[in-house]
Amino acid sequence: MNNTDALNIYNQKLEEPEFKRIQDFMLNNLGVKLSPIKIVMVNSRLVKRLKMSGIYNFPDYLNYALSPEGKRSGELQCMIDELTTHKTEFFREPEHFDLLRERVLPEFIQNKQSWLKIWSAGCSSGEEAYTMAMVLQEFKQVHTTFDYSVYATDVSNAVVVKAVRAIYPAVNLKTMAPDLLRKYFLVSKDEQTELYRVSKTLRDKVQFSMLNLVDTYPFQPNSLDVVFCRNTLIYFEDKAKREVVSKLLSKVKTGGYLFVGLSETISQFSSDIKQIAPSAYQKIR
Ligand SMILES: C[S@@+](CC[C@H](N)C(=O)[O-])C[C@H]1O[C@@H](n2cnc3c(N)ncnc32)[C@H](O)[C@@H]1O
């Protein structure tokens, strides 16, 4: 690519027909709805892929990315990585972790159960799953018969790779309680940035994998105690959202819990759940 081509890439405009192809792909394959105003965001995110792939215009880029060759080469996955939104943080929406600590875990022990299984569905770069692990590990230190497994999945390969690496810049940990930071993070300094890595104790408790929530789930029916699917279904079209909620609930034990993001509600999708707090549901049958 010469310099003129490189400059032109940033002037490429995503037109309606190509945007429609992307909308259809995201809806039919991920359940994600891209509203018309997202055209600008999609344009700016995919320009990077034009540059990386060396295909200098959107029609040709899409022909390639959506072809069997684009799938084989990984370009389709790179496109999905760009088109999904990954905003997350440690202890995001902390009331849900309070509920886990103050209601779910004591109830679990009272019911004489010992091994809790929890799933972060739409885990992004891992902050939610490692937060779960911190809360559960703290509980385990007090209740010695208690143990747990954390499963964490996402459709984006790029974020799952980050999650497994478990390295975060100091700025992402600004609000972390100092005792948790000391206990569960190892600090290292590269030349400019202070970086923290989640401790091996927690990393060993979390199993990350790629999973598209519109596909089938690798869990037995009624086998999970708690599922968090937060700030993920907001991007879904209604029919896909209803189907995903139903599939998630089929994996939760009766008496178990499903948490969604604080701006989301799912009462309308199932009569098998009772709301126990904002965006927190218990499966009652
Ligand atoms: C905004 S993040 C939410 C992360 C975390 N749950 C939280 O609340 O902080 C949404 C995540 O959902 C993932 N996602 C979007 N569509 C998905 C799908 N069809 N299957 C699985 N994950 C999906 C995205 O890749 C993204 O990482």
User: Per residue in 261-272, pLDDT tens?
Assistant: 999 999 999 999
CB of 159 closer than 6 A to ligand 1? Answer: yes
Q: Has residue 226 got a pLDDT over 80?
A: yes
pLDDT of residue 221: 98
Residue 72 and residue 106 in one domain? no
pLDDT-derived band at 131, boundaries 50, 70, 90? very high
**144 in any annotated domain:** yes
Residue 260 and residue 209 in one domain? yes
Last-in-domain residue among 83, 103, 121: 83
Residue 159 and residue 54 in one domain? no
User: Per residue in 188-220, pLDDT tens?
Assistant: 877 778 999 999 999 999 999 999 999 999 999
Residue of minimum CA distance from atom 17 in ligand 1: 155
Q: Has residue 116 got a pLDDT over 90?
A: yes
What string of DSSP letters covers 130-160? HHHHHHHHHHHHHSTT-EEEEEEEES-HHHH
Domain holding 49, by residue range, is 3-83
**259 in any annotated domain:** yes
**189 in any annotated domain:** no
What integer is the mean pLDDT of 73-84?
Answer: 98
pTM above 0.85, yes or no: yes
CB of 12 closer than 6 A to ligand 1? Answer: no
Residue 113 and residue 150 in one domain? yes
Please give the mean pLDDT across all residues of the chain.
95
Residue of minimum CA distance from atom 19 in ligand 1: 30
DSSP 8-class letter at 104: I
94 CA distance to ligand 1 middle (Å) = 18
**17 in any annotated domain:** yes
User: Per residue in 10-19, pLDDT tens?
Assistant: 788 999 999 9
CB of 231 closer than 6 A to ligand 1? Answer: yes
Q: How many domains does the chain have?
A: 2
Residue 127 and residue 39 in one domain? no
pLDDT of residue 125: 98
Residue 104 and residue 75 in one domain? no
CB of 124 closer than 6 A to ligand 1? Answer: yes
Give the ligand 1 atom nearest the CA of 213: 20
- The amino acid at 269: F
**185 in any annotated domain:** no
Residue 76 and residue 113 in one domain? no
Q: Please report where in the chains the tokens 């990393």 appear, as a residue.
A: 203
**183 in any annotated domain:** no
Give the ligand 1 atom nearest the CA of 124: 27
Query: In this structure, what CATH number is given to the domain that contains residue 76?
Result: 1.10.155.10
Burial class (CB in 10 A: 0-12, 13-18, 19+), 8: middle
pLDDT-derived band at 4, boundaries 50, 70, 90? low
